[in-house]
Amino acid sequence: MPQFLSTANSDFDTRFAALLTMKREESPDVDDIVARIITDVRARGDAALIELTAKFDRLELTPETLAFSKEEIDAEVAKVGAEDRAALELAAKRIRAYHERQMPKDESWKEKSGATLGWRWTPVDAAGLYVPGGLASYPSSVLMNAIPAQVAGVKRLVITAPTPDGKSNPLVLLAAKLSGVETVYRVGGAQAIAALAYGTQTIAPVDKITGPGNAFVAAAKRRVFGRVGIDMIAGPSEILVIADQHNDPDWIALDMMSQAEHDESAQAILITTSAEFGQAVAQAVEDRLQTLERRAIAGASWRDFGAIITVADLGEAAALADRIAPEHLELCVENPEALAANITHAGAIFLGSWTPEAIGDYVGGPNHVLPTARSARFSSGLNVLDFLKRTTLARMTPEALGAIGPAAERLAISEGLEAHGLSVRARLDRLNKADKPPKEKLKARLGLEKKS
Q: Which residues are catalytic?
A: 327-328
Nearest to 24 by CA among 282, 270, 324: 324
Q: How far is it, in rounded angstroms, from Cα 268 to Cα 249?
A: 14
Residues with Cβ within 8 Å of residue 174, at least 6 apart in sequence: 76, 77, 80, 85, 88, 139
Q: How far apart are CA 58 and CA 52, in angstroms?
A: 9
All residues at 6 or more sequence positions from 450 whose CB lies less than 8 Å from its CB, including other chains: none
Is-contact 399 114, C-beta < 8 A? yes
Separate counts of helices (H) and strands (E) for the chain: 18, 14
Mark residue 447 as left, alpha or beta (left: phi above 0; alpha: psi -120 to 50; beta: remaining). left
Name, in order, each residue with C-beta under 8 angstroms of 67's C-beta and a sequence gap of 6 or more: 183, 184, 185, 186, 202
Q: Is 129 left (phi over 0), alpha (psi -120 to 50) or beta?
A: beta
Q: How far apart are the C-alpha atoms of 292 and 252, rounded to whole Å?
A: 15
Q: Name the amino acid, one letter, at 365.
A: G
Q: Which residues have a Cβ under 8 Å from the Cβ of 47 and sit 6 or more positions away? A: none
Beta strands in 211-280 (DSSP E): 229-230, 238-243, 267-272
Residue 139 sits at the vertex; the CA angle it makes with 253 and 379, to the nearest 5 degrees, is 70
Kindly state the DSSP code that residue 116 receives in the 8-state scheme: E
Q: How far is CA 363 from CA 144, 154, 248, 262, in A?
A: 10, 23, 23, 18
CA distance 246 to 353: 10
The string of DSSP codes covering 377-416 is GT-----GGGGEEEEEEEE--HHHHHHHHHHHHHHHHHTT
For residue 310, the cross-strand partners are 6, 272
| Residues paired with 51 in a beta bridge | none
Q: Beta strand pairing status for 116-123 and 107-110?
A: antiparallel
